[in-house]
A = this chain, B = another copy of it.
Amino acid sequence: MSSKTSPSAARKAGPEQVKQSLRVWLKMLKATKHVEAVVRENLRVEFDTTLPRFDVMAALYRFEEGLKMSELSSALRVSNGNVTGIIERLVSDGSVLRVPVAGDKRAMLVRLTQRGRDEFARMAAAHELWINEIFGSLPVDVTAGLLATLDTIEHAQGLYSEGEHDA
């Protein structure tokens, strides 16, 4: 009768653990969305631009020599077609330049114009302050712990072969 051996019981997640996981995730999501909303709003009001544009410019700022479309989309981890549209608008704004790649007629190199660089430098400076207004109040040991925990999350399940991590 009592021969119930419950084979998978050892590795089974308790309902309490599942709930806690969910709770943490929802809070993390909420906090992230909150910060993102602040950044979006500030970008819109102070610089009349958007977060995706900002992200693209940030990537191009870092690679002065320019990036191929495919490099850009994989750096930002978004789809190819996505970047096409954003770059299009940045080009017509005069912030980004397209140059053909020597020796490969398929590829295009995109890079910031000087105007784009100046623009982004101003935005990045403001952005740093916005973020620091939110995160700057955390004690150093807390942010250190947060960094460590977030690292763990990223590597929690090696199911997805993450491409190159940017430094």
Which B residues lie within 8 Å of A33 (CB)?
77
**Interchain nearest-CB distance for A121 vs B (Å):** 15
Tell me whether A107 is interfacial, beta carbon within 8 Å: no
| CB–CB B156/A24 < 8 A | no
| CB–CB A32/B34 < 8 A | no
Stretch at the interface among A1-9, A59-67, A91-99, A126-134: A126-134
| CB–CB B142/A156 < 8 A | no
Residues of A in contact, count (CB < 8 Å): 47
**Interchain nearest-CB distance for A162 vs B (Å):** 8
Q: A29-B32, A153-B31, A153-B35 are in contact. Are A145 and B143 (CB under 8 A)?
A: no
Query: Given the complex of chains A and B, what is the CA–CA distance between A145 and B150 in angstroms?
Result: 12
**Interchain nearest-CB distance for A17 vs B (Å):** 6
Which B residues lie within 8 Å of A46 (CB)?
none
Kindly supply a per-residue 1/0 record for chain A positions 8-43, scoring 1 wherever the CB is within 8 Å of any chain B CB and 0 otherwise: 000001000110111111011111111111100000
Q: A18-B128, A136-B17 are in contact. Are A146 and B28 (CB under 8 A)?
A: yes
| Residues of chain A having any CB pair with chain B under 8 Å | 13, 17-18, 20-25, 27-38, 77, 128-129, 131-138, 140, 142-143, 145-147, 149-154, 156-157, 160
